A and B are shown apart, each in its own frame.
Chain A
Amino acid sequence: MKIVIRFFFLVFPLMILLSSFDWHKFYVSVTNMEYKKEAKSIQIITKVFADDFEDILKLRFSEDVILSPESETKNANQLIEKYINAKFQLAVDDEKKQLNYLGKKYKHDQIHLFIEVLNVEEFSRVQVSNLILTDLFDDQKNLIHFKKDGKTKSAVTLKSDPKALLKFK
């Protein structure tokens, strides 16, 4: 019986993912990254829908997480950092890099997450793995734009295909 109860409570939100419909909300995040040569850093802004992001933090960490500029959970930034590190990875020329979550900004119904990668020497390839919100929605799509030397390379990552390789010669 215990198993059944667990099944109900944990699967309940997951069942949402299994439907094939959607209407006016579409599950998309956008990540803009830019390599700053002089600073040897990669600047990252990830834009997510605030309600979705709050929902996944609730599901993973605690029911009472609130993400809103009016009344935010105290440890919200810690939880976000934990989540980002679990779902977002970046390697430069095959070397895995540490992501530094700097903070966030609320913008309309979205949250902009600011992330920085330090000590990045000149490189030719970036591997990104972005599973953000794919644990909430099966059909979540994560758009990625990486700008280096004035050129932008783009990709889309999905739950079934979370990795993208961006080449700069």
Chain B
Amino acid sequence: MNKLTIILSSFLILFAFQINFAQDDQEKSKQGKMNENKFRQMYDLLATPNSFRTAAGAPGHEYYQNTADYKMEIELDDHTQRITGKAEITYTNHSPNVLDYLWMQLDQNIREKGSISKEKDGGGFDPLMMPDGFVDKYMGEEFDGGFRINSVTKNGKPLPHKINWTMMRVDMGMPLQPGETFTFEIEWNYLVNNHVTNRARSGYEHFEEDGNNAYVIAQFFPRMAVYNDVEGWQNYQFWGNGEWALPFGNYEVDITVPADHIMEATGELQNRKKVFTKEMIGRYNNAKLSFDEPVLIVTPEEAEKAEKGFSEETKTWQWKAENVRDFAFATSRKFIYDAMNVKVGDREVMAISLYPKEGNPLWERWSTKAVAATLETYSKYTFDYPYHKAISVHAKNQGMEYPMICWNYGRPDAQGNYSDRVKFGMISVIIHEVGHNYFPMIVNSDERQWGWMDEGLNTFMQYLAEQEFGEKHPEAIKGYDKYPSRRGEPSQIVDYMKGDQDFISPIMSNPENVYQLGNNAYGKPATALNILRETIMGHELFDYAFKTYAQRWMFKHPTPDDFFRTMEDASAVDLDWFWRGWFYSTDYVDIGIKDVKTYIPTNTPTKEAKELLSQYGITDPENYPGTADAVYVLEIGSEDFDESMLTDNPLENAPKLNEYILDNFSEQERRNMEVPKYFYEIVFDKPGGLVMPIIVEYTYEDGTTEKVKYPVQVWRLNDQEVSKTLASDKKITKIVLDPDLETADVDLSNNTWPKEEGESEFEEFKNSRD
């Protein structure tokens, strides 16, 4: 036992007494309570594990998921922007339950005339309106999207069905038994919306100058809903915020468009020789050999020429996709097309971009490279990208994801100029949307219920991929020391978390019922995961657990519980306090330094010690056998303190401690001991509701610093205030809490001792002007 430990243990005993003493002092008649400890386990919040989903967070031995296979013929009329389709759908019931009916999703019905989604928000009249706005809101012609279901049949015979807004029940005639399949046919059509004026996740953009349309099409067919062990049928209506829950399946889709269109879609192209020119096929084969630069398959000159064609002929593109949860396509005669090969593990994947000339010179430069970099980073942290291609399509002002294909914004001005903001906005959105292939296209969470499960995890991964993109392409971030990521760093979420509690919801909320979906489903969960990785778990433990989650639930349907459980199960880090605080509450982090006291050791009982001991009947501690040799700490500046006690030899005031050391340690051992001169007690308080590790940087008088991280468990027994002691032979001149801004502490004014007001952003700006 060394001296330091002796002294520290006496500290601890004394402080422990003080805490008890202080608590005894309070009112005696407090009521009892349920367990409110911030570290209590989450039994009250998590579903009971079962044979479908285990307590470890993995699929159980009876885990099942149903599948939906589609064979479709789709035709696009470019003159009227109408899509007409017919589908043969095969639904397979792998569940152990009998299904009385099927539910399908009719997402386009959110845009039908008189759709109730337009009335989902409250609020009165605007205090003043421009005449144009008034006309548009109250007098304009309403766009009539929405599916026209022409027929629902089985072997040509009509099937009873009931449309309830964005959901349709199909009655099969007889219940679907476990293990059985049901095949039926649907015919439908709908009017495609202009996604620029009538913003949506799918639609067309019209180019006034050349009269062309660029289509980015999704939710274009009635899609099967998910039936599973947690929701039954997931048929929560589509109100606009909560995206989709979709079963996996195989697709065969034939899409007929004007003959001069260029198309990309989910799935493998089956008739490349028919729809590509010979030249295009040659260039495509070259692209397969290019691993560092994209190869043009349709050149800008060819695309500009095609813009003027307006062919009245049609061409059918045939696509086949296996094990995807959805299908989307993009088509236009305006598209330039480039591609390159990316090595992902032992697989080769084509990174592809489609863009009209309006996207250049930005798109030819960065789109395909951003796709490639995304696949590399995401594959490293999750699993090797399992599909054969990933496509980024230019759309004016939306970013939206589908299996293998996504739409992204980022457009230079008419002269082809673009700012860094437009460039980084574009690269970031491409990384984000391509990244969605992993969450939720493959790790297929229920977006309708939990927006954060794909957006939060993906935004977290986006941050890692952006940073790695910057490292891979230093020429892209010229002028910056690293890629300027918008979300992920803890300080960036502070403005949200410190806000008016009336406008903040827990992450564990349905996307329809939150005030700020961007912060709620993207920013906060991404930041929370970043904090877990950087500060709570460390890279190695976090990355292993995160990868375990991704691989366990790849091509399956995970729930939040499965994620929370896996992260703990694979790391041996108890995180219940973290999930409860960050995901189930709107609490925020605010830890402060309340007080710093300096002590010296002494054998003379202090006033506080005497008072304390007298409670236990010890009135003369110096002569009481149990306490005769006790060491006490005396606060500098207190009543019993005298300046003369501050000597070069700190043991002068504690002769008995000195004797103890002489009696118990050899000369050699004593030589190796440092005799601390200063004994500090630092009191941390916690105005914020979240518990977090206390990260402290101590600066000593000689300018050296020491960073100490007290584990979050220090808050176990007292959620308000906690003290830490420190012995040092050097004087502490400064203490800073969370010096690297790792914890999203919302108030930094209580983070330093002695209290110092740094130059605020405002003053810094004002002074720089003068």
Contact = CB atoms under 8 A, between A and B. Distances in A.
B573 interface: no
Interface stretch (A45-53, A85-93, A119-127): A45-53
B400 interface: yes
A70 B519 contact: no
B509 to A, nearest CB: 15
Interface in B407-457: 417, 419-422, 424-425, 429, 432
Contacts of A145: 495, 498-499
Interface string A131-169: 000000000010101000010101110111100000000
A21 B135 contact: no
A23 B197 CA distance: 15
B240 to A, nearest CB: 5
Contact of A32 (B123, B495, B515): B495
Interface string A97-139: 0000011011011001010100000000000000000000000
A21 B421 contact: no
A26 interface: yes
Contact of A156 (B133, B424, B500, B765): B500
Contacts of A22: 199, 517
A28 B518 contact: yes
Contacts of A25: 399, 518
A24 B486 contact: no
Interface residues of B, number: 59
B199 A26 contact: no
A70 B515 CA distance: 35
A102 B432 contact: no
A30 interface: yes
Interface extent on A, as a size class?
35 or more
A6 B747 CA distance: 50
B398 A11 contact: no
A166 to B, nearest CB: 10
Given A7-B135, A32-B495, A109 B421 contact: yes
A24 B429 contact: yes
Contacts of B420: 68-70
Contact of B120 (A20, A103, A114): A20
B201 A23 contact: yes
Contact of B132 (A6, A112, A161): A6
Contacts of A71: 417, 419
Interface string B132-148: 11011100100000000
**Which of B133, B201, B400 gathers most chain A CB within 10 Å?**
B133
B421 A68 contact: yes
A44 to B, nearest CB: 8
Per DSSP, chain A at the interface is mixed
Nearest to B517: A26
Interface in B377-428: 398-400, 417, 419-422, 424-425
B762 interface: yes
B766 A70 contact: no
B200 interface: yes
Interface in B175-218: 197-201
B124 interface: yes
Nearest to B764: A105
Contact of A109 (B486, B761, B763): B486
Contacts, number: 136
A11 B419 contact: no
B658 interface: no
Contacts of B515: 141, 156
Given A109-B421, A155-B500, A156-B503, A20 B117 contact: yes
B769 interface: yes
Interface string B149-174: 00000000000000000000000000
B516 interface: yes
A34 B522 contact: no
Given A6-B132, A14-B136, A155-B500, A68 B765 contact: no
B291 interface: no
A19 interface: yes
B676 interface: no
B126 interface: yes
A1 interface: no
Contacts of B197: 12, 15-16
Interface in B240-265: 240-241
Given A18-B136, A22-B199, A26-B516, A114 B765 contact: yes
B22 interface: no
B747 A152 contact: yes
Interface in B98-141: 117-118, 120-121, 123-124, 126, 130, 132-133, 135-137, 140
27 contacts: A7-B135, A14-B130, A14-B132, A14-B133, A19-B199, A20-B121, A20-B239, A21-B200, A22-B517, A23-B399, A24-B398, A24-B399, A24-B400, A28-B519, A45-B761, A45-B762, A47-B495, A51-B422, A68-B420, A69-B420, A109-B425, A109-B486, A112-B761, A114-B765, A116-B766, A145-B499, A154-B498
**For the complex of A and B, 3 pairs with smallest distance between CB atoms:** A26-B518, A68-B419, A160-B123
Interface of A: 6-7, 10-12, 14-16, 18-26, 28, 30, 32, 34, 43-45, 47, 50-51, 66, 68-71, 102-103, 105-106, 108-109, 112, 114, 116, 141, 143, 145, 150, 152, 154-156, 158-161
Given A26-B518, A47-B495, A109-B421, 14 more contacts: A12-B197, A14-B132, A19-B198, A21-B241, A26-B517, A28-B516, A66-B419, A103-B769, A105-B765, A114-B765, A145-B495, A154-B498, A154-B499, A160-B126
